Structure formats: C-alpha cells, structure tokens
Amino acid sequence: MVMAEGMAVLRQNRPGTKAQDFYNWPDESFDEMDSTLAVQQYIQQNIRADFSNIDKILEPPEGQDEGVWKYEHLRQFCLELNGLAVKLQSECHPDTCTQMTATEQWIFLCAAHKTPKECPAIDYTRHTLDGAACLLNSNKYFPSRVSIKESSVAKLGSVCRRIYGVSFCRQAGVRTV
C-alpha cells in the first residue's frame, strides 16, 4: 500500500472485482515497490502496460540481481503458459494428439517418468508445467525471491528447454507461436 495524493492505494483485486476493474491502480516505479515480490510485480506491471513492448518487459531495473530477474521471468512465463495449456485441453486429446512433436522427425520425450518416454501432447504439457512449478517453488533450490544462489540459477536453463517445447508445439492444428 502506498500513499497517492493523500489516499492509500490498495493494490489487490478484491473478491467480486469486475474484469474491467482488475489492476485498476496507478503504476509504481520499481524503487517504490516495497515487497519481496517486487520483481514479480514489476514484470507483471510492464506486461499489463504494453505486452508487445518486449524490450521494456525484459529490461531489468538498475542494480537488479540477474538470477532473480531470470527466475521471476520464468515463473511468469510458466504462469501464462498454464493458461495456454487449459485452452489446449479442448483441442488436444490423448487419443488425437498422441505425441509431443516439434516437427515430423522431432518427438519430445517426457522427463516426468522414471525413464523418459513419449507421452500424449497434453500429458507432456501438464507434466512439464507441473515439473517446472515444483522446481520453481522448491524451498531447497529457491528459498528466497530476493536472492538466488548461482547453483540454483543453473537449474533454470533446464526448465527453459523443457517448456520451450510446450510454447512451440504444433498439435491438432493449434500453433502456439
């Protein structure tokens, strides 16, 4: 909560808030954000302001830890990719989309199984996003949203490679890129 023209600004969407009123508060500079979730809030604020301005969305505030910046962007990407996964469920069924493919020759193997194996595309998507969420929410690797050890930052590349397959999939006539 911050003071704006003598009034407190509540920065949350209350139950029952109409869609057109969501996030209907003034933007804050990164320096004004006083929370352990400031990086997430800043990224989401920039996306809401203009989702097509990729340079602005990807530009970290001065002095921002690069590992935290990458981590929060990956969390946001997974959050938005879950919305796509929900939409794909109506188009992509295990009996019609039997494999997760990038091309006719390139089939993704699902790492969620004891031994990586082929999975129906929608299951691969669910398994991959579940695995990413488990890692990104792991207190073992990411106990803080303010600072992240280099050994934990190294794990982000693996998540990126796996979710890239979901973001670039071509299943049941659905093109996601």
Of the residues 64, 82, 110, which one is the last residue of a structural domain? 64
- Is residue 86, in this structure, part of any structural domain at all? no
The model's pLDDT over 53-96, given as tens digits with 9 standing for 90+, comes to 999 999 999 999 999 999 999 999 999 999 989 988 888 889 98
Residue 171 in tokens: 């299943």
- 92-93-95-100 Cα dihedral, nearest 10 degrees: 50
Are residues 107 and 150 located together in one domain of the fold? yes
Residue-level pLDDT at 14: 85
**What total number of domains does the chain contain?**
2
Are residues 49 and 114 located together in one domain of the fold? no
Of the residues 64, 84, 107, which one is the last residue of a structural domain? 64
Residue-level pLDDT at 172: 43
- Is residue 71, in this structure, part of any structural domain at all? no
Q: pTM of this prediction?
A: 0.82
Predicted confidence band of residue 5 (pLDDT cuts 50, 70, 90): low
Residue 116 in tokens: 């990586």
Residue 5 in tokens: 């023209």
The model's pLDDT over 84-141, given as tens digits with 9 standing for 90+, comes to 899 888 888 899 889 888 778 888 899 999 999 999 989 999 999 999 999 999 999 9
Are residues 51 and 105 located together in one domain of the fold? no
Full domain range(s) for residue 45: 1-64
Which residues lie below 8 Å from residue 12, measured CB to CB, with a gap of 6+? none
Between the two ends of the chain, the Cα-to-Cα distance in Å is: 37
Of the residues 16, 49, 64, which one is the last residue of a structural domain? 64
What CATH number does residue 139 fall under?
1.20.140.30
* Residue 110 annotated in ligand binding: no
Are residues 96 and 22 located together in one domain of the fold? no
Are residues 29 and 103 located together in one domain of the fold? no
* Residue 92 annotated in ligand binding: yes
